[in-house]
Structure 1
Amino acid sequence: MSEKKAYTKEVKKLIAMGKSKGYLTYEEVNDALPEDMITPDDLEDVMDLFSEKEIQLVDTEEDYQDADDGVEFQEDGALRSPDPVKMYLHEMGSVSLLSREDETEIAKRIEAGQRQILNVIINSPVTVKEVIQIGAALKNGEIRLKDVVDIEDMFDIEEESAGAKTLDTISAIETRQTDLKNLKVQFFHAPSSDEKEKIKHEMAKVSRDIVRMIHDIHFLPEQIELFGNRLKELKRQIET
C-alpha cells in the first residue's frame, strides 16, 4: 500500500470503529481517509482490510445487515469451523441407530461444512493475490506444478497440458481481479445509491467468476491450508 505510514493511524481508527459497530458508512470512510488516497491499489488495500475484518461498507446505518456465515476466527487466530469428525460423532450420538439414508445425509452435511471453509478461503482477496503470485512463480520455473496443483484431479491430462491450462486460468483471474479493483473504486465514488447498486451487482459477478476459476485450478489440500494460514497471519498482524 503506497504511503501506508501516512494513514495507518486513520485506518486503525476506522477498523476500531467498524469492529465496534460491524459496519462503516462510505461517508465515514471518505471523511477519515486522506484526500490523496485515490489510486485503485491504495483504496483496494483499505477495502480489503475491512473485508478481512468482516466490516461491511454501507451507504447508511439502515443498510447494515449483520451477516453470519457460520465460519469465523477464534481468539488464537485459528479458523472456527465445523469439525467433520465432531459433527459425525455428534450425529451418531443423537440417534440409537442410523439408517443408510441418515448416514448419507450426515455425509452431505459434513461435505457442505468443508465446502464452506474452502469458500471462505477462496473468496478472500488475499488468496486471490497469492494465486496470482503462484502463477508468476510457475511461469518463472520457481515452483513445480505438482507441488501446488492436484494434476491427477484434472481429468488425467498430461502435466504439460495441465501447466498450460493452469497458467491460462491464473492469467484470466488476474484480468478479472483488475476489473474488480476498478469496480471497487467506481463503487466507492459512485454518486448515487442506484449507481452503487448497479456496480455492486457487477462486482458480485466478477467475484463469482474469480472463485469459479480458482476452483477450476484444483489446488492441493496442502496449498489450500497455506492460503488459510496466510489469512490467520494477516488477521494477527492487523490486530497487533
Structure 2
Amino acid sequence: MHVQIVLFDGFDPLDAIAPFEVFHAGGTASGGAVEVELVSAEGPRDVVSGTGGLTLRANAALDPARADLVLVPGAAGPLGGNDAPGAGEAFDGVGAEAAAEAQATVPVLLGRTLATGLPALLGAATADPAVTVASVCGGSLLLSMAGLIKGRHATTHHLGLELLDTAGTHAVRARVVDDGDLVTGAGVTSGLDLALYLLEREVGPQVAHAVEELFAYERRGTVWRPAGPVPATTLSGAR
C-alpha cells in the first residue's frame, strides 16, 4: 500500500505526523507492505505548518495515479471570532485572500488552499475507486469545501460538523467514519486511530496490533459505517 500524506501551507502538523509514524511503523512490521511519503500539490518543497512556523519537507508531488491512499490533514490556526473572517467567506473564497493578511484563521487557510492546484488533484483521487481518500480533522472540511464529498458520510473536529452539513456532506459525530473509499477522522489526535484502523483494514489486524503495542496506544471509539440497523431511539442519557 502506497500512502501519500498531503502538506499545504498552514497544515496541522499532528494531523500529518501521527499517521505518518503509524504507516511507517506498519511498513516495518509488514516487511515493506506499506510505503508512506509526504507530498504537496506543487512537488518537493518546504511547507510551513500553521503551528509556530514548524516546517516539514514534502519530498514528492501528489500523484493519485501512484497512490493507494491519499491522506489530507486539516489546518492549524485560530478558529475565528467576531472580528475574524467567517467560514462562509472561506467556502466561496470571497474575502479570504484579503482577510489572510489580518489573521490566518482555519477557515481562511482552508479557503486559500482552494485556490491552489490541490483541489484538482484531490478530485482525481476521489474520482478513482482504486484510491482511498482519508482525512484528519479539518481535512474533510477541505474536501467538502472543494465539492468532492457531497452526499458522503464523514466526520471532522466537533466544531466543524455543522460546516460539513452546510456543504452537503452527511456529518457523523464519531471518532472515525468509514464510508468505503472515504475514511475520515475527527479531532487532531484521531489521526492515530484513523491510521491504525486503515492499517488493520488494508494490511491486517496483526500488523496493526504490533504498531499499537510499539506506540503503547490503543485505538479509541467505534468505527462508524453506513451499515447495520439504525438505532430505534436516541440513547443519550438513557440507562
TM-score normalised over the length of structure 1: 0.23
User: Which structure carries more strand by proportion?
Assistant: 2
Larger Rg: 1 or 2?
1
Relative contact order, CA 8 A, sep 6+: which one is greater?
A: 1
User: Which structure carries more helix by proportion?
Assistant: 1
TM-score normalised over the length of structure 2: 0.23
